[in-house]
Amino acid sequence: MSLYTKRGVSAQKEEVHAATKNLNQGLFPNAFCKIYPDYISGDSNYVNVMHADGAGTKSILAYLYWKETGDISVWKGIAQDAVVMNLDDLICVGIYDNIVFNSTIDRNKHLIPGEVLEQIITGTQQLFDELKSFGVNIHYLGGETADVGDVVRTVAVNGTMTCRWKKESVVTNERICPGDVIVGLASYGKANYEEAFNSGIGSNGLTSARHDALSKHYASHYSESYNPGLDEEVVYIGKNRLTDKVSDILPPSEITGDSNASIGQLLLSPTRTYAPVMKLLLENHFDKIHGLIHCSGGGHTKCLKYLPGDFKIIKDNLFAAPDIFKIIQQNSGSSMREMYEVFNMGCRLEIYCSEHDAQLMIDTAKSFGIDAQIIGRVEQNVKKQLEIRLKEEVIVY
């Protein structure tokens, strides 16, 4: 049993899928988000999409970092995480403009004061203001903030996005086919619209990242930060404190990012949005995009859920894993199989297209300071299968 499973988390969400299997799957079952007819106006030329997601357990890391360093601004990053985990899922069905957002914040009032809420709420609006400069318009329609200390140990930051969109401009993933290549967009580095270097961690797998990288110090000093029902063997099993520097953990030859960054800064890097890049591609080259996959929950196995046929996905040219994932694996001893199933490992968006059009996608991403490359391809197969080829091993899902 994996450490992720022992901590009560599921990368594949099998029980969730079982519980929802009888629900309406929408107009396009292989699309990354559920897409429904335009119930609002009844116009057959439009569709409705509503999507809910959030920052997950990354908010616990923000809580620990804030308590340990006093840096309250870290909560603005959590606001971005909650927004981007919705926005970039919508991007994967072709939606990038005129979106409405509603936030949901559940907190333990005894531990999360009003000034933290202010950072989250104002941080959300600041992100929307920044995205507007790229033509990505998101309208903040308020939300719900609930004091539910009996339910939430610290704070949960989530949101819902809704949009009415032209049906002809939806990415359904139905056009993914054998012969396509996969252009991967890096989750790490510094895009020209980001204020600081991004570790690439995103907002998935943070339960494992937190417990794998951080030491028992956090169990003894912040018992509110984890489920007391967990076995001690999976609680904060790492060697590090949030303030430890990368240069004190990894050999100089292995460091690819900022050696002076702390573990806390890497773990709390706000989730990168690809909205500015994808708006440009979707507006000008929509027909060249066969499919879009956001490597969120389920990491690199996410693609298996959205394939329109019995295809084999071969990923044999992935980015080298960024520093944060090396640190997590060094602490946990997790297999590469588990790492690629839980984390994005440095690549969080996949564009499926013809080989002829791949360079266009790559050049567009790079014009925004985001590294991109062909990471794999699609082949015909007898069943849906993913094969990750690394230098040291081949992993099959």
pLDDT in tens, 130-142: 999 999 999 999 9
Q: Which helix (H) or strand (E) holds 315?
A: strand 311-315
Q: Average pLDDT of 243-265?
A: 94
Q: Average pLDDT of 155-165?
A: 98
Neighbours of 43 (CB within 10 A): 12
The pLDDT of residue 17 is 53
What's the predicted TM-score (pTM) here? 0.94
Q: Which residues pair with 144 in a beta bridge?
A: 104
pLDDT in tens, 314-327: 999 999 999 999 99
For residue 3, pLDDT over 70 is answered with: no
pLDDT in tens, 67-77: 999 999 999 99
Confidence of residue 13 (pLDDT cuts 50, 70, 90): low
Q: Name the DSSP class of 269.
A: P
The pLDDT of residue 24 is 74
For residue 1, pLDDT over 80 is answered with: no
* Structural domains present in the chain: 3-195+268-396 (3.30.1330.10)
Q: Name the DSSP class of 21.
A: T
Confidence of residue 16 (pLDDT cuts 50, 70, 90): low
Neighbours of 16 (CB within 10 A): 11
Helix, strand, coil content of the chain in percent (nearest 5): 35, 20, 40
Per this entry, what is the length of the chain?
397
Q: Based on the number of CB atoms within 10 Å of its own CB, is 30 exposed (0-12), middle (13-18) or buried (19 or more)?
A: middle
Q: Average pLDDT of 365-376?
A: 98
Name the residue type at position 44: S
Q: Residue 331 in contact with residue 237, Cβ under 8 Å?
A: yes
pLDDT in tens, 161-174: 999 999 999 999 99
Q: Using alpha carbons, select from 383, 370, 33, 45 the residue that is nearest to residue 189.
A: 370
The pLDDT of residue 40 is 87
The pLDDT of residue 9 is 65
Average pLDDT for the chain: 95
Neighbours of 363 (CB within 10 A): 10
pLDDT in tens, 356-365: 999 999 999 9
Retrieve residue 73's tokens.
Answer: 């601004």
Q: How large a percentage of the chain has pLDDT more than 90?
A: 92
Q: Residue 45 in contact with residue 166, Cβ under 8 Å?
A: yes
The pLDDT of residue 335 is 95
pLDDT in tens, 202-230: 999 999 999 999 999 999 999 999 999 99
Cα 194 to its chain centre, rounded Å, is: 16
Residues 6+ apart with CB under 8 A from 140: 101, 103, 124, 125, 128
The pLDDT of residue 113 is 97
